[in-house]
């Protein structure tokens, strides 16, 4: 998997090397340049008065004409055999009148620009470069002095310093011990930097490799793989982001799996719940048809009654399913309005009064005093409360009590439907809001519920921005509750 040419650390190291190499080369060039300039500067400084001294020495030999021989002698006397300078006598306009150069050398100019010479004698700061008569374009450090020549004032004695030996910088460098040592040092530094750089970058990219390994594992299906890369830097943040993304993907997968399971359960439940009333209806109708002559009027009436009851329970189931699917698809838009909850509660208690009496259960509305108006969909709230009261009566044995208890709270108006009924076992509590969930399958069926009521209630309460809570103790009772937004709060 790991290839050196593709590795990030190798690329980083290469980049680092190139940078260091560039830096090294620029530094070397800069050092050489400044070395050459420093050389020239020192040379010129040391020889500032050279031309002047020579001019004084040569003065007698240039009075009427230039006495070459005598001057050569003087030069040999002054500089020794191995001289490093070239000497020229120039007219005031820079024209070369006489030259004292080495054998084999050839003049390439006949005139010199005198501006740098003027600067030199004026004492301007050195280095100043002047035209080299031995080259058409080269400039070199020099020493210069005014000299009177052949009766003319304002002529020049022009001395090119350094001469041949400094001619080639490369030559000079080749022979320079300091330069060779510096070059060797530079190469060594480069080598060390390359090794250190590679090791350092390999170490630094280790976290990236570890992250990449984790991502690969995750991709191959190991969904528990998480990055252990720590730190607050970019790689650390990348690791954390990957972990969060992986958590989301896993949660989504779990959701999808759950949805799929629920869908399958729903189809199984729906078909089961539809089938049993349908087959009951079919059975009774068939019997009534077959035995219509033998059956008494009362028996026939009873059969039709059973058929009708099952039809209406079927009808109820289908409308509940329809309602739930609309809530699921978020197609139910609550029509929010301000209304007085106390009136709605009174109506509901009146409405369920008869049912409660028949079941031998006492249904009571506890008045808390002045109730704040709420902001909610009155029809949907009635649907929830109706379902909760109906359940409370259904699951409370004769002699029991059902209380409807509203109260103003900080969050809004809270309504509780509490009963002294059978209660819900602890292990069933987390599931009662699931669709088709019944605590005691046979008991629930006997009382006609399909296990959809609480799922619908939960969704409606959530539509109002609240949550349906439940508290229950087996054989002591159950309390369902939710909070509705206060009218002033919601409309503010």
* Residues of this chain that bind ligand ADP (CB under 6 A): 391-392, 395, 419, 421-424, 432, 437-439, 444, 449-454, 478
Closer CB to ligand ADP, residue 373 or residue 432? 432
Q: Report the run of H or E that residue 273 belongs to, with start and end.
A: helix 234-290
Handedness of CA 59, 64, 68, 69 (dihedral sign): negative
Q: How far is the CB of 295 from ligand ADP (least distance, A)?
A: 33
Residue with tokens 């993907």: 249
Q: How far is the CB of 347 from ligand ADP (least distance, A)?
A: 20
Closer CB to ligand ADP, residue 363 or residue 432? 432
- In the complex, which residue's CB is closest to ligand ADP? 449
Strand ranges for 101-174 from DSSP E: 129-131, 139-149, 152-160
Closer CB to ligand ADP, residue 317 or residue 336? 317
Closer CB to ligand ADP, residue 378 or residue 417? 417
Closer CB to ligand ADP, residue 119 or residue 364? 364
Nearest-angstrom CA–CA distance, 35 and 41: 10
Tell how far CA 327 is from the center of its chain.
37
Measuring CA to CA, how many Å separate 30 from each of 33, 38, 191, 411? 5, 12, 21, 77
Helices 234-290 and 206-219, axial angle in degrees (round to 10): 10
Residue with tokens 């031998």: 360
Q: Residue 192 burial (CB < 10 Å; 0-12/13-18/19+)?
A: exposed
* CA-angle at 363, arms to 474 and 459, nearest 5°: 65
Joined together, the tokens standing for residue 264 give 């399958």
Tell how far CA 203 is from the center of its chain.
23
Closer CB to ligand ADP, residue 54 or residue 468? 468
Closer CB to ligand ADP, residue 257 or residue 326? 326
Q: How far is the CB of 434 from ligand ADP (least distance, A)?
A: 9
Q: How far is the CB of 478 from ligand ADP (least distance, A)?
A: 4
Closer CB to ligand ADP, residue 142 or residue 437? 437
Q: How far is the CB of 411 from ligand ADP (least distance, A)?
A: 23
Q: How far is the CB of 439 from ligand ADP (least distance, A)?
A: 3
Q: How far is the CB of 248 from ligand ADP (least distance, A)?
A: 31
Q: How far is the CB of 305 from ligand ADP (least distance, A)?
A: 22
Q: Report the run of H or E that residue 261 belongs to, with start and end.
A: helix 234-290
Closer CB to ligand ADP, residue 228 or residue 473? 473
Q: How far is the CB of 261 from ligand ADP (least distance, A)?
A: 19
Joined together, the tokens standing for residue 258 give 């759950």
CB distance 159 to 85 below 8 Å = yes
64-69 LR contacts (CB < 8 Å, sep 24+): 64/150, 64/151, 65/150, 66/97, 66/98, 66/149, 66/150, 68/98, 68/100
* CA-angle at 428, arms to 425 and 434, nearest 5°: 150
The residues, any chain, with a CB within 8 Å of residue 472's CB and separated by 6 or more, are 423, 424, 429, 478, 479
Closer CB to ligand ADP, residue 414 or residue 438? 438
Closer CB to ligand ADP, residue 363 or residue 439? 439
DSSP secondary structure, 379-415, as one string: HHHHHHHHHHHHHHHHTS-TT-EEEEEEEE-SSSEEE
Q: Is the peptide bond before 127 cis (omega within 30 degrees of 0)?
A: yes
Q: How far is the CB of 378 from ligand ADP (least distance, A)?
A: 21
Q: How far is the CB of 366 from ligand ADP (least distance, A)?
A: 17
DSSP state of 29: H
């Amino acid at each position: 998997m790991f290839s050196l040419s593709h590795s990030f650390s190798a690329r980083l190291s290469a980049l680092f090397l190139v940078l260091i190499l560039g830096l090294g080369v620029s530094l070397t060039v800069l050092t050489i340049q400044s070395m050459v300039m420093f050389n020239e500067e020192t040379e010129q400084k040391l020889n500032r008065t050279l031309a002047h001294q020579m001019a004084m020495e040569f003065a007698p030999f240039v009075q009427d004409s230039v006495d070459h021989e005598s001057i050569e002698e003087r030069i040999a006397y002054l500089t020794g055999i191995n001289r490093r300078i070239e000497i020229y006598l120039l007219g005031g306009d820079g024209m070369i009148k006489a030259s004292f150069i080495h054998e084999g050398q050839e003049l390439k100019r006949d005139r010199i620009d005198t501006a740098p010479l003027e600067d030199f004698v004026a004492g301007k700061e050195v280095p100043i470069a002047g035209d080299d008569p031995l080259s058409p374009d080269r400039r070199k450090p020099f020493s210069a002095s005014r000299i009177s020549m052949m009766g003319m004032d304002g002529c020049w004695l022009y001395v090119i310093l350094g001469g041949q030996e400094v001619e080639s910088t490369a030559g000079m460098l080749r022979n320079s011990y300091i330069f060779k040592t510096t070059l060797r040092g530079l190469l060594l530094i480069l080598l060390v930097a390359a090794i250190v750089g590679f090791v350092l970058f390999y170490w630094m990219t280790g976290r990236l490799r570890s992250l990449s390994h984790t991502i690969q594992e995750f991709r191959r299906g190991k969904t528990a793989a998480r990055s252990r890369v720590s730190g607050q830097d970019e790689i650390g943040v990348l690791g954390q982001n990957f972990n969060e993304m992986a958590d989301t993907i896993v949660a989504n997968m779990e959701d999808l799996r759950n949805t799929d399971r629920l869908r399958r359960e729903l189809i199984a439940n729906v078909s089961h719940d539809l089938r049993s009333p349908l087959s009951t209806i079919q059975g009774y109708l068939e019997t009534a048809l077959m035995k219509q002559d033998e059956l008494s009027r009362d028996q026939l009436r009873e059969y039709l009654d059973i058929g009708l009851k099952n039809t209406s329970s079927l009808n109820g189931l289908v409308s509940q399913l329809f309602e739930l699917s609309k809530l699921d698809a978020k197609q139910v838009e609550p029509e929010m309005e301000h209304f007085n909850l106390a009136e709605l509660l009174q109506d509901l208690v009146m409405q369920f009064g008869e049912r409660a009496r028949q079941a031998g259960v006492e249904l009571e509305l506890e008045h808390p005093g002045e109730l704040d108006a709420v902001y909610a969909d009155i029809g949907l709230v009635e649907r929830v409360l109706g379902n909760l009261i109906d359940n409370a009566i259904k699951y409370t044995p004769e002699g029991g009590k059902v209380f409807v208890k509203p109260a103003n709270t900080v969050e809004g108006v809270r309504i509780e439907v509490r009963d002294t009924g059978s209660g819900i076992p602890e292990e069933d509590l987390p599931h009662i809001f699931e669709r088709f969930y019944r605590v005691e399958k046979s008991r629930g069926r006997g009382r006609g519920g399909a296990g959809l009521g609480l799922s619908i209630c939960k969704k409606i309460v959530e539509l109002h921005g609240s949550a349906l809570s439940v508290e229950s103790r087996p054989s002591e009772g159950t309390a369902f509750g939710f909070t509705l937004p206060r009218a002033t709060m919601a409309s503010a």
